[in-house]
Amino acid sequence: MAQHLTGVLGQAFVVENRPGAGGTIAHAQVARARPDGATLLVSTNSSFAIAPHLYQLTYDPVAAFAPISLIAATWQTLCVHRSVLAQDVASLLALARARPDSLAFSSAGVGFSSHLAAELFMATTGVSLLHVPYRGGGPAAQALIAGEVQINFADTTTAQTMERTGNVRILALTGPEPSPLFPGIPTLDASGLPGFRSATSYALLAPAGTPVAILERMRTETLAWMRLPERQDWLIANGFDVIGSTVEEFRRAQAAEMAMWGELIRTRGIRIP
């Protein structure tokens, strides 16, 4: 995306990674930036919808940013280590109910989508699993591959990589429909958990106060980039649903996710250690 925007807008966009604190460090930096179109933020729902319920913010998660567009979303997969004697969701639930807290799940850290998907799973089913947070999705995936934990809610690309090791089995998908990337794998919705949804979504934001003309040009070029055949092919092959949105559509999506995850965080008593 940075290369595309550089080419069509004639100004250089350099990717600067600012990890930490659930994405709030990067968000704070962009919130303080001059609203002139020179600084943009690729955000995820972990940052724009979940982090506000877990961190003390120095910015308003809604008012501090001008949305450009939702970009894409990737659904998650319920994965288990091959040692787990479960071939489907029903048998996994039977194991978990027979031995509460005996099955552990890894996550990229407290508050990340891999964590909250498991919390939603527990809240929906009533089972109790042990949470083992890691510092990032890579270590969390390696923990499942090595058998240090038994369960992980992974994005589609990570799930494919883990499955190829032969140590991981995919039981279900968190989206509304089956995926051609995982033939024969049902959704959690079809596995007895109606309405279960959990995804990682991506959005492009600018500092609040950025002129409307700049935002509209950025939106036009971002949507054009998303429609490139090679980009569409790559996104679909890697398990992404291509979205694109208006400002109003993003605001509605953000509000819905903030309400949903905020309620889960409160009822589950989730806190940053």
Q: Are both 82 and 178 inside the same structural domain? A: yes
HSE at residue 129, side-chain half, CA atoms within 13 A, is 30
Q: Are both 141 and 233 inside the same structural domain? A: no
Q: How far apart are CA 231 and CA 92, in angstroms?
A: 37
Q: How far apart are CA 135 and CA 9, in angstroms?
A: 36
Q: Which residues contact 264 (CB under 8 A, 6 or more apart)?
A: 116, 119, 120, 123, 270
pLDDT recorded at residue 165:
98
pLDDT tens sequence for the chain (273 residues): 888 888 888 888 878 888 788 889 999 999 999 999 999 999 999 999 999 999 999 999 999 999 999 999 999 999 999 999 999 999 999 999 999 999 999 999 999 999 999 999 999 999 999 999 999 999 999 999 999 999 999 999 999 999 999 999 999 999 999 999 999 999 999 999 999 999 999 999 999 999 999 999 999 999 999 989 998 899 988 889 988 899 999 999 999 999 999 999 999 999 998
DSSP assignment letter at 223: H
Q: Are both 204 and 183 inside the same structural domain? A: no
Q: Are both 47 and 97 inside the same structural domain? A: no
Is residue 213 domain-resident? Answer: yes
Q: Are both 89 and 120 inside the same structural domain? A: yes
Q: How far apart are CA 132 and CA 149, in angstroms?
A: 8
User: Tokens at residue 208, please?
Assistant: 């609040």
Q: Are both 122 and 144 inside the same structural domain? A: yes
Is residue 273 domain-resident? Answer: no
Q: Are both 7 and 51 inside the same structural domain? A: yes
Range of the domain at 8: 2-73+198-268
- pTM for the model: 0.91
Q: Are both 26 and 115 inside the same structural domain? A: no
Q: How far apart are CA 200 and CA 127, in angstroms?
A: 23
Q: How many domains does the chain have?
A: 2
Q: Are both 78 and 182 inside the same structural domain? A: yes
HSE at residue 68, side-chain half, CA atoms within 13 A, is 29
Residue with tokens 């890894």: 106
CATH number at residue 8: 3.40.190.150
CATH number at residue 132: 3.40.190.10
Q: How far apart are CA 39 and CA 169, in angstroms?
A: 41
* Partner residues linked to 252 by β-bridges: none
Closest CA to 66 of 241, 244, 225, 203: 203
Q: Are both 121 and 171 inside the same structural domain? A: yes
